[in-house]
Structure 1
Amino acid sequence: MGRAAVTVEQNGKRQQPYGTGTRAQRTVRMLIRDRYLYFLALPGIAFFILFKYVPMWGLIIAFKDFSPYVGMWQSNWVGFEHFRRFFGNDDFYLLLRNTLAISSLNLLLFFPAPILVSIMLNEVRHRVYKRVVQTVIYFPHFLSWVIIAGISFIMLGQADGVINGILETIGLEKIPFLTSPSLFWPMLTLQNIWKDVGWGTIIFLAAMSGIDPTLYEAARMDGAGRFKQIFHVTIPGIRNVIMILFILKLGEVMDVGFEQVFLMGNAAVSNVAEVFDTFVYRNGVLNGEFSYTATVGLFKSIVGLVLVVTANKLAKMAGQDGLY
């Protein structure tokens, strides 16, 4: 008789095992069994329900001429009028170019940075030094973008910036870091790396701690040096984690961070600093075009969903563990 068919006796009562019964009965029994875990997860579940799923009803205003005076349900339907207006806007391709350019730089430079830092930290054997370095690189994550923008102005200002002051002292010309369109996208990427590279190492270091130490011993016995151990043991050991995080990152391609771009932008770089997020702020918040800017948010969400589903499918086809 299989294990799943054996009943469980507890306190003199015969209970059905978790593997028998209908699917609904098995689900209920598992929910009862893991009730304390679900209770601990309740705040997170409530957060996503209240702030992620419930607001999705508001997407209906993208198909209406929404007026706050009459409410969402009483506003007139306009169908896809706002979408036609958005895609026919002369600024659409400018917004798309700037958003994709910033996201591409983040994928190419920012995404691999925590992986490289994690590998280097994993190779450090001095525990005190390792913890000090981790603490130092974690700290910028807890700074707001307002503070980081202020630091950037102090360091990169053309008139009295620290770096330009040094360049002037050694006889070199000053560089307009903050007002040069060609430097705006790399500056945003470097800010992201400095701010969040340490925080991003947490997941990768945790994944590396789960790698079987005997694999490193076997590699050393086969004559593998430190670099070969990294390429043949460490990286394959965290490959699934890298793939999952990369898929999730693709879902954020259209979200480049409103606060950072808004604070660092100015009139001199407006041609490269205008993205979907700032467009929504200027037209939705300042001009009150709520329905029009809701179409922008819906467009971003659809693009992110398509990219996540496609990347997950390709990962499955390549034999990797996908997101689901």
Structure 2
Amino acid sequence: MLWQSHIKGFTTYLKLERSLSSNSVHAYLSDIDKLQQYFQSINQSPSLAAINVGDLRSFLSWLNQLGMLPSTQARVISGLKAFFTYLMLENEIQNDPTALIEAPKLSRKLPDTLNIHEINDLISAIDASKPEGMRNKAIIEVLYGCGLRVTELTELKISNIYPQIEFIKVIGKGNKERLVPIGGTALKLLDIYLSQVRVHVKIKKGNDDYVFLNRFGAKLSRISVFNLIKSLAVATGLKKSISPHTLRHSFATHLIEGGADLRAIQEMLGHSSITTTEIYTHVDRDYLREVITQFHPRS
């Protein structure tokens, strides 16, 4: 299938013009690869200009037969729309076959959250006597205290911590920068980790400015943070299925329940659209309903 030169150009476009991370670029390329797999499965090899709406609808039907979740299908459609939009911009095709394709309707499932007692239990389960203990305590405090995505945590730089004004600079999706307040507890644990633990790690070249390092002196990986959260959930007997993102959801939920302004939360989370942040208002409504049910004499 003679798509490689177009895919190479699309990759460059995503990296340079849209400033997407390597993870995001990989996701887009994976979406294109699925379309290629479909055509291979039916022994066809069309040019990109020859692909039409009917082909894409058959492709979506194929994905459905494979048992792909609607949310994953929506992700694939989004990736293909970006690819064909790029081809239109480059005048490689005259018509965009994705223009009439709609993503499956998704129910906005509310993410699992932890209450403050459960978060405290996670932190208490960390053995501070081990070399990585204080680092892990700082990780949980920063994830929850600042509402960071896991990649934002692993990419956090020492030079982007401003303890005097209690802010950190975060590099979010699309390399967008934002300033996020950081609380005293998280700052204290960061200071202990940096000044008493990290200084004894032999740091690999090029990793000097990263805050969180593994035992080999390299930047901590995303999977290491996921494994940490899973192991702490097991250690505390937590029955919920949690990930680093659960702490981000908990951060936003607790702010909403405390009466924080939605726009302020949007800014701290780095959401480009307020509609993404508005999912947490449903948590607030459920909370209010529980309060009425529990305390109102007529409920």
Taking structure 1 as the reference length, the TM-score comes to: 0.25
More RCO (CA 8 Å, sep 6+): 1
Larger Rg: 1
